[in-house]
């Protein structure tokens, strides 16, 4: 048994190299396989992971990185935080778990929200004064035994108690003012119980993750961290404790952890290098293991091993021992680059997915222990990749660079809003409270089949075009018949709003198997942005122009904005994000010019991810929002005054981004608002927003068809904050996941409600 961490990763993908878990889950939910069959598949996936991590040569293999749905939900269930409405369903433990994750007919699921600033989503635990924490589920221990049987001792990984509570929300029984963190002492006792059991099972190390401390925290929250680890560290019977913080600089929390009675502390040197001086000022580290996260766990580039080793070498005197790891769990990257057969070989040679990253960690560990010579070949190979990337022709496009260098302030400014408004009214002649949709119409089985057939070569390009045109015509006729004011083409040609653009822009590569878990069984395949971005030819113009040719009503061109394209891709790490965003913005700008030239007078640039990329620490918000807004404005400011620029945002909690939304300077902004009953409008107006606004009047996430009366009521509520001249009427988001059976009546009611409210305006 090893006694040091040496080399390790903080977590591993769990969906299966071929998305085996996704398929198994879907089969189980559809009652096509039994619970026993599902559990067997899960066990096989765990065993494969442990074996491959051990064979790759990691000194410490993480355990408990598997999850049927989500690791935060697992933690809640482990410690008995199951809200009564799920426990009362009388289901088996596994089905109770899935009820919390997905809901059942009578009971909606727990809220799903983003895991820090990643694209992974976790289920928000509900904690109240009546929550009784105890070691309710022994899955963690069972997995330890499972691994032991294979002769692979593992280091169970759990969300730490303080982060767990900081990610939770008060349940419905909690009095105002109650915070989940108020229960930390009881939760720590339950963790203590688990630690005791793990020690008895012979577990040597346990990893507790506290990434919540990469964000700003209050004194009380920091004190809770200090107390929690003082108390867990003082247990008589426990494994060694490794506390990992990642996704950014831990700040004061690092001081607290380095002084706590734990054996190892993890620091993310990729996202939050604290700097040598701060580390040197932590005497507590001298008798601990510092687990240095040197291999980026969130992006797909091969590590500059020389640089990583130099960082590691400077740490040697500062801690009792230095171990190496991934910067965070590898959950956020795909399994294996070698599974990719159609990637350009040069681009592929620059990439490291989970399997390659494990190897990098192992190499770094050996270099630290045995010296650089022991891994000379690997270091040389990594060095070659670094130079190859720097010099690669396909990464630099001088024309793009010259264009960026030549940008002037007026390239991000449009005419005054008043001038634009008049020109647009003149051109479009829209009624008050104009009706529109967010862009996509239902992606029917037929539409998907047609796209798949083209991909597989089952139909030729002309057949594809004519089928898509038929779909567009159908959607246009439907919108005319429904009486919508601003029409869309429906986006049938798009698989995904980011992937579609990535496939048509230079500088991006696509993977075949690069799946990453987004939540539960849902996976995404982010494109890889590796080089300077340009637009070889128009992307959306033919589809949009075709739609416009079919009708006298205005048709809205539909584009994805630069920030969202970056947020949902793996992005190059060799230049600031702000520069990459500008390149994407220029490509969108050109697309807008071409849409205008083709006669489109309304163009929407979607930025649903604007808020997602917001840095965890408040002091970094401004810098981010500045470049994000700048990129959007660069994309849209080439539009003529008479062209109406729309944007769409997919959330209703504005808080930190409200000024940025106003600064986008879009003529019309559609936002999610139905679930918060238009509250967002008051906030917007209070912040001085004085443009067109389309608060969503019904929630497209549910199949329910809204009544006319209820939409009328929402519009009246909206009119309390927004004058009729600026109010738009639209759903909350795109309709692609819905069926026509709901969409048709819902839009019919939406138009009827707008008509009714217009009439009362006189």
Annotated binding site for L-methionine: 438-440, 491, 606
Q: Which two tokens stand for residue 357?
A: 């990253």
Q: How far apart are the two ends of the chain, measured CA to CA in Å?
A: 82
The residue among 385, 432, 392, 378 whose CA lies nearest residue 728 is: 432
Sites for Zn ion among residues 698-717 (CB under 5 A): none
Task: Give the HSE-up count for residue 257: Cα atoms under 13 Å, Cβ half-sphere.
Answer: 29
Site string for Zn ion, 590-619 (x = CB under 5 A): ------------------x-----------
Least Cβ distance, residue 475 to ligand GLN (angstroms) = 12
Nearer to ligand GLN, 207 or 440 (CB): 440
Binding-site annotation, residues for 5-methyltetrahydropteroyltri-L-glutamate: 19-22, 114, 119, 522-523, 568, 612
Partner from Zn ion, ligand GLN, none binding residue 736, C-beta < 5-8 Å depending on class: ligand GLN
- Gap between the Cα atoms of 464 and 760, Å rounded: 46
Q: Which does 667 bind (CB under 5 to 8 A by kind): ligand GLN, Zn ion, none?
A: none
Indicate whether 439 belongs to the interface with ligand GLN (CB under 6 A): yes
State which H helix or E strand residue 487 sits in.
none
Which of Zn ion, ligand GLN, none does residue 497 bind (CB under 5 to 8 Å by kind)?
A: ligand GLN
Question: What is the Cα 457 distance to its own chain's centre?
Answer: 32
Q: What angle, 0 to 180 degrees and rounded to 10, lies between the N-to-C axes of helices 708-719 and 740-761?
A: 50
558 binds Zn ion per the rule CB under 5 A: no
Number of residues that bind ligand GLN (CB under 6 A): 13
Stretch that binds Zn ion, among 48-56, 298-306, 363-371, 643-651 (CB under 5 A): 643-651
Tell me if 476 contacts Zn ion by CB under 5 A.
no
From the list ligand GLN, Zn ion, none, partner contacted by residue 440 (C-beta under 5 to 8 A by kind): ligand GLN
Q: What does R_g of the chain's alpha carbons equal in angstroms?
A: 27
- Using left for φ > 0, alpha for ψ between -120 and 50, and beta otherwise, residue 599 falls in left
Residue 246 phi, psi (nearest 5): -155, 175
Residue with tokens 């700003």: 216
CB atoms within 10 A of CB 282: 19
> Is residue 430 near Zn ion by the rule CB under 5 A?
no
Contact 225, 181 (CB under 8 A): no
Does position 733 interact with Zn ion (CB under 5 A)? The reply is yes
Give CA separation, 608 vs 486, 598, 672, in Å: 20, 26, 10
Interaction pattern, residues 638-657, with ligand GLN; x per rule: CB under 6 A? ----------x-x-------
Residue 438 near ligand GLN by CB under 6 A: yes
Q: Which of 226, 584, 734, 754 binds ligand GLN (CB under 6 A)?
A: 734
Q: How far is the CB of 650 from ligand GLN (least distance, A)?
A: 5
Selected binder of ligand GLN within 60, 440, 569, 669 (CB under 6 A): 440
Sites for ligand GLN among residues 480-499 (CB under 6 A): 491, 497
Q: Interface with ligand GLN includes 606 (CB under 6 A)?
A: yes
DSSP secondary structure string for all residues of 347-376:
HHTTB--HHHHHHHHHHHHHHHHH-GGGGH
Choose among Zn ion, ligand GLN, none what residue 439 binds, the Cβ cut-off being 5 to 8 Å by kind. Answer: ligand GLN
Which run of H or of E encompasses 259? helix 252-259
- Minimal distance in Å, beta carbon 733 to ligand GLN? 5
Q: Is 563 in the site for Zn ion (CB under 5 A)?
A: no
Contacts of 553 (CB under 8 A, 6+ apart): 479, 480, 484, 485, 486, 487
Nearest to 422 by CA among 725, 625, 661: 725
8 Å CB contact between 556 and 373? no
> From the CB of 558, what's the least distance to ligand GLN, in Å?
5
Piece of 234-242, 545-553, 655-663, 731-739 that binds ligand GLN (CB under 6 A): 731-739
DSSP 688: T
Of 691, 648, 612, 711, the closest CA to residue 491 belongs to: 648
Q: Which of residues 154-193 bind ligand GLN (CB under 6 A)?
A: none
CB nearer to ligand GLN: pick between 62 and 734: 734
Q: Which is nearer to Zn ion, 375 or 650 (CB)?
A: 650
By CB under 6 A, is residue 668 in contact with ligand GLN? no
**Which residues fall in the annotated binding site for Zn(2+)?**
648, 650, 672, 733
559 binds Zn ion (CB under 5 A): no
Of Zn ion, ligand GLN, none, which one does residue 490 interact with (CB within 5 to 8 Å by kind)? none
Q: What is the number of the residue whose Cβ is closest to ligand GLN?
A: 734
Q: Is 733 in the site for ligand GLN (CB under 6 A)?
A: yes
Tokens 């895991």 sit at which residue? 115
Integer Cα distance of 101 and 338 in angstroms:
33
Cβ neighbour number for residue 701 with a 10 Å cutoff: 13
CB of 439 to Zn ion, least distance (A): 9
Q: How far is the CB of 726 from ligand GLN (least distance, A)?
A: 21
Binding-site residues sit at: 19-22, 114, 119, 438-440, 491, 522-523, 568, 606, 612, 648, 650, 672, 733
User: What residues are labeled active site?
Assistant: 701
Task: Give the binding range for ligand GLN (CB under 6 A) out of 20-28, 334-342, 519-527, 733-741.
Answer: 733-741
Q: Which residues are annotated as a binding site for L-homocysteine?
A: 438-440, 491, 606
For 379, the enclosing helix (H) or strand (E) is helix 376-391
Report how far residue 643's alpha carbon sits from residue 629's, in angstroms, rounded to the nearest whole number.
Answer: 19
Distance in angstroms (rounded) separating the CA atoms of residues 290 and 232: 19
**Going by C-beta distance under 8 Å and a sequence separation of 6 or more, which residues neighbour residue 252?**
217, 222
| Among positions 608, 696, 706, 731, the unique one binding ligand GLN when judged by CB under 6 A | 608
Q: Within 13 Å and on the Cβ side, how many CA atoms surround 529?
A: 29
Work out how close the CB of 470 gets to ligand GLN at its nearest, in angstroms, rounded to a whole number.
20
Of the candidate residues 736, 738, 750, 753, the single one contacting ligand GLN (CB under 6 A)? 736
Burial of residue 405, with CB atoms counted within 10 A of its CB: 0-12 exposed, 13-18 middle, 19 or more buried: exposed
Question: Binding segment for ligand GLN among 432-440, 508-516, 623-631, 745-753 (CB under 6 A)?
Answer: 432-440
Residue 608 beta carbon to ligand GLN: minimum distance, rounded to whole angstroms:
4
- Sequence-distant (6+) residues with CB within 8 A of 307 are none
Q: Residue 122: how many CA atoms within 13 Å on its side-chain side?
A: 23
Q: Out of 212, 650, 681, 743, which residue is the one contacting Zn ion (CB under 5 A)? A: 650
Regarding 558 and contact with ligand GLN (CB under 6 A), the answer is yes
Read off the tokens for 44. Answer: 């096989």
Nearer to ligand GLN, 161 or 695 (CB): 695
**Residues near ligand GLN, by CB under 6 A:** 438-440, 491, 497, 558, 606, 608, 648, 650, 733-734, 736
**Residues near Zn ion, by CB under 5 A:** 608, 650, 733
């Amino acid at each position: 048994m090893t006694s040091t961490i040496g080399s390790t990763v903080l977590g591993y993908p769990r969906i299966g190299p071929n998305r085996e878990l996704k398929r198994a889950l879907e089969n189980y939910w559809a009652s096509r396989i039994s619970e026993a069959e599902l559990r067997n598949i899960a066990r096989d996936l765990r065993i494969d992971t442990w074996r491959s991590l051990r064979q790759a040569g990691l000194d410490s293999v993480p355990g408990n990185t598997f999850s049927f749905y989500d690791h935060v939900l697992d933690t809640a269930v482990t410690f008995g935080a199951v809200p009564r409405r799920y426990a009362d369903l009388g289901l088996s433990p596994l089905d109770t778990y899935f009820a919390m994750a997905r809901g059942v007919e009578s009971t909606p699921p727990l809220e799903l929200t983003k895991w820090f600033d990643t694209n992974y989503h976790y289920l928000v635990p509900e904690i109240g004064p009546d929550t009784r924490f105890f070691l309710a589920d022994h899955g963690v221990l069972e997995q330890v035994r499972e691994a032991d049987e294979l002769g692979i001792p593992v280091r169970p990984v759990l969300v730490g108690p303080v982060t767990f509570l900081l990610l939770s929300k008060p349940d419905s029984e909690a009095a105002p003012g109650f915070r989940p963190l108020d229960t930390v002492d009881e939760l720590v006792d339950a963790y203590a119980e688990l630690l005791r059991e793990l020690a008895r099972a012979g577990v040597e190390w346990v990893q507790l993750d506290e990434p919540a401390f990469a964000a700003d925290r209050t004194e009380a929250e920091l004190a809770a961290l200090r107390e929690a680890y003082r108390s867990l560290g003082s247990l008589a019977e426990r494994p060694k404790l490794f506390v990992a913080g990642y996704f950014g600089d831990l700040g004061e929390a690092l001081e607290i952890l380095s002084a706590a009675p734990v054996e190892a502390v993890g620091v993310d040197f990729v996202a939050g290098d604290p700097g040598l001086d701060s580390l040197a000022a932590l005497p507590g580290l001298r008798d601990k293991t510092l687990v240095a996260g040197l291999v980026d766990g969130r992006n797909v580039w091969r590590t500059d091993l020389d640089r990583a080793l130099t960082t590691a070498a400077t740490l040697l005197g500062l801690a009792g021992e230095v171990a190496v790891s991934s910067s965070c769990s590898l959950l956020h990257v795909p399994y294996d680059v070698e599974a990719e057969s159609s990637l350009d070989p040069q681009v592929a040679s620059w990439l490291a997915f989970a399997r390659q990253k494990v190897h990098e960690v192992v190499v770094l560990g050996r270099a630290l222990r045995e010296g650089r010579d022991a891994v000379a070949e690997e270091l040389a190979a990594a060095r070659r990749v670094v130079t190859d990337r720097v010099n690669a022709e396909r990464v630099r496009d001088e024309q793009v660079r010259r264009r960026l260098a030549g940008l002037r302030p007026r390239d991000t400014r449009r005419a005054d809003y008043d001038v634009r408004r008049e020109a647009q009214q003149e051109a479009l002649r829209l009624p008050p409270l104009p009706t529109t949709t967010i862009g996509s119409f239902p992606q029917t089985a037929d539409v998907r089949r047609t796209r798949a057939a083209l991909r597989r070569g089952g139909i030729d390009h002309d057949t594809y075009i004519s089928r898509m045109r038929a779909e567009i015509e159908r959607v246009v006729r439907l919108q005319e018949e429904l009486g919508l004011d601003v029409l869309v083409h429906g986006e049938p040609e798009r698989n995904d709003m980011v992937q579609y653009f990535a496939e048509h822009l230079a500088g991006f590569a696509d993977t075949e198997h690069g799946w990453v878990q987004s939540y539960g069984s849902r996976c995404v395949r982010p494109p890889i942005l590796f080089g300077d971005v340009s637009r070889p030819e128009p992307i959306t113009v033919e589809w949009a122009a075709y739609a416009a040719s079919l009708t006298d009503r205005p048709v809205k061109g539909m584009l994805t904005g630069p920030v969202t394209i970056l947020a949902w891709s793996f992005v190059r790490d060799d230049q600031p994000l702000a520069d990459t965003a500008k390149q994407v913005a220029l490509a969108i700008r050109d697309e807008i010019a071409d849409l205008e030239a083709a006669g489109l007078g309304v163009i929407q640039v979607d930025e649903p991810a604007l808020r997602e990329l917001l840095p965890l620490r408040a002091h970094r918000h401004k810098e981010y929002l500045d470049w994000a807004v700048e990129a959007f404005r660069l994309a849209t400011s080439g539009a003529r005054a008479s062209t109406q620029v729309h944007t769409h945002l997919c959330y209703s909690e504005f808080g930190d981004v409200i000024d940025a939304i106003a600064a986008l300077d879009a003529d019309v902004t559609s936002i999610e608002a139905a679930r918060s009953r238009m509250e967002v409008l008051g906030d917007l107006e209070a912040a001085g927003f004085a443009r067109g606004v389309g608060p969503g009047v019904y929630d497209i996430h549910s199949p329910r068809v809204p009544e006319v009366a209820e939409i009328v009521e929402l519009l009246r509520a909206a009119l309390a904050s927004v004058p009729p001249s600026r109010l738009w009427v639209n759903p909350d988001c795109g309709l692609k996941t819905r069926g026509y059976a709901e969409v048709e009546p819902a839009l019919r009611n939406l138009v009827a409600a707008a008509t009714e409210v217009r009439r009362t305006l006189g």
